[in-house]
Amino acid sequence: MQRRTFIKGTAAGVAGAGALIGAPAIVKAQPEIKWRCASSFPKSLDTIYGAAEIVAERVAASTDGKFQIRVFAGGEIVPGLQVLDAVQAGTVECGHSVSYYYVGKDPTFAFDTAVPFGLNCRAQNAWMYYGGGLELMRAFLKDYNIYQIPAGNTGTQMGGWFRKEITSLDQFNGLKMRIGGLAGQVIAKLGAVPTQIAGSDIYPALEKGTIDATEWIGPYDDEKLGFYKIAKYYYYPGWWEGGPQLTFYVNIDQWESLPKEYQSILEAACAEANVMTMAKYDAQNPPALRRLVAEGVMLRPFSHDILEAAYKAAFELYDEIAAKNEKFKKVYEPWLKFREEVNLWFRVAENTYDNFIYSQQARRK
């Protein structure tokens, strides 16, 4: 599907049900279709798991119930970290996950979610929809028999939960931390021992001492999973996930068999999930953070020397991978150029505005 067609679908999705009001008439002659969607996430998280439910609900409403997608939580059909494999093999028709779970197959997957010190949510959307990201990632994922659609974002995440205060870079030596994507390789360069664990399995691993620290998402989701009951130090920012995208995977054979009207409706539904999920996080995280602090959680920023060391290690890693992986290089080089341009724009307008507002708000207290 060309980007122009996709953007039209995106606009429909963002506008909501009103923009799709004519859909039931269009689909009267279309077939009844039932799909299963394997999510990587637990049902308890109405945000990240709920993004797939937004897609399913909008698709059903826009097809007068003829196109049904049933969402299954991580572990119900397949383990949370095997969603891509299940969609690729046709075990399920579609899935909802984060692509950086699969960097072990190829580090290029990370660009479909987030890379350390990469793009924030708005920049990720800009790159995907208007900066060539969709074309690059869809071409890459085609080799895995998957059609990719952006379907959610968490915004910049927190830096994780630690049992002990981290006051120096040396304290990363030997630290066992649950962390996904290329960030695991970056903190390994800092001396830490990364491990990838599905969301529903993090709490017991932290409780048993299998890991010393964990990152997940942010205050709202982290509060629900109860990490504050075990680890009291809550660090920020999550420099490895500035704007991590959630992705809706569709088996290519299933995608190509869909009527064109259903394809457009599914694209629009994913666009709606992309917008609504980010909005929900922005609304729910502030009160959740206040509640966590009231519970005795100690907020701490990563020190400047830790951030600088991680930044240096991250871009050294990207250069190393690009030197030996042509697929990674093909995405990385235009992505890096886009990142430089969009950050320049944000520095001029967005950040200047935000920083002034923050300073005035702090002064009034």
Contact yes or no for 123/64 (Cβ under 8 A)? no
Q: What span, in angstroms and rounded, lies between the C-alpha atoms of 185 and 189?
A: 7
Q: Is residue 231 part of a domain?
A: no
Q: Is residue 184 part of a domain?
A: no
pLDDT digits (tens, 9 = 90+) for 270-304: 999 999 999 999 999 999 999 999 999 999 999 99
Question: In the numeric block, which tokens belong to residue 88?
Answer: 């690729």
pLDDT digits (tens, 9 = 90+) for 117-170: 999 999 999 999 999 999 999 999 999 999 999 999 999 999 999 999 999 999
Percent over 70 (pLDDT), the chain: 92
Is the model's pLDDT at 12 over the cut of 90? no
pLDDT at 25: 52
SS (H, E, C) 65-86: CCEEEEEECCCCCCCHHHHHHH
Is the model's pLDDT at 10 over the cut of 80? no
Q: Is residue 97 part of a domain?
A: yes
Is the model's pLDDT at 27 over the cut of 70? no
Q: Is residue 295 part of a domain?
A: no
Identify the CATH number of the domain in which residue 272 sits. Answer: 3.40.190.170
Sheet with 160-162, strands from edge to edge, namely 193-195, 176-178, 213-214, 160-162, 233-236, 298-301
Residue from 306, 39, 276 nearest 160 by CA: 306
Q: Is residue 168 part of a domain?
A: no
pLDDT at 2: 46
Q: Is residue 127 part of a domain?
A: yes
Q: What span, in angstroms and rounded, lies between the C-alpha atoms of 172 and 170?
A: 5
More confident residue, 28 or 316: 316
Q: Is residue 145 part of a domain?
A: yes
Alpha-carbon distances, residue 106 vs 15, 167, 272, 329 (angstroms)? 36, 34, 29, 12
Q: How many domains does the chain have?
A: 1
Q: Which is it for the CA torsion 240, 243, 249, 252, positive or negative? A: negative
Mean pLDDT computed over every residue of the chain: 93
Q: Which domain holds residue 21?
A: 3-153+242-282
Q: What span, in angstroms and rounded, lies between the C-alpha atoms of 207 and 181?
A: 23
Is the model's pLDDT at 17 over the cut of 80? no
Contact yes or no for 61/26 (Cβ under 8 A)? no
pLDDT digits (tens, 9 = 90+) for 196-207: 888 889 999 999
Q: Count H helices, E strands: the chain? A: 14, 11
Q: Is residue 316 part of a domain?
A: no
Alpha-carbon distances, residue 66 vs 35, 115, 248, 253 (angstroms)? 11, 38, 20, 19
Residues present in the chain in total: 365
The average pLDDT across 107-114 equals 98
Helix (H) or strand (E) holding 208: helix 202-208
Q: What span, in angstroms and rounded, lies between the C-alpha atoms of 104 and 88?
A: 16
Q: How far is CA 287 from the centre of its chain?
A: 22
Please, which pLDDT band fits residue 11 given cuts at 50, 70 and 90? very low
Q: What span, in angstroms and rounded, lies between the C-alpha atoms of 7 and 342?
A: 20
Which residues partner with 104 through β-bridges? none
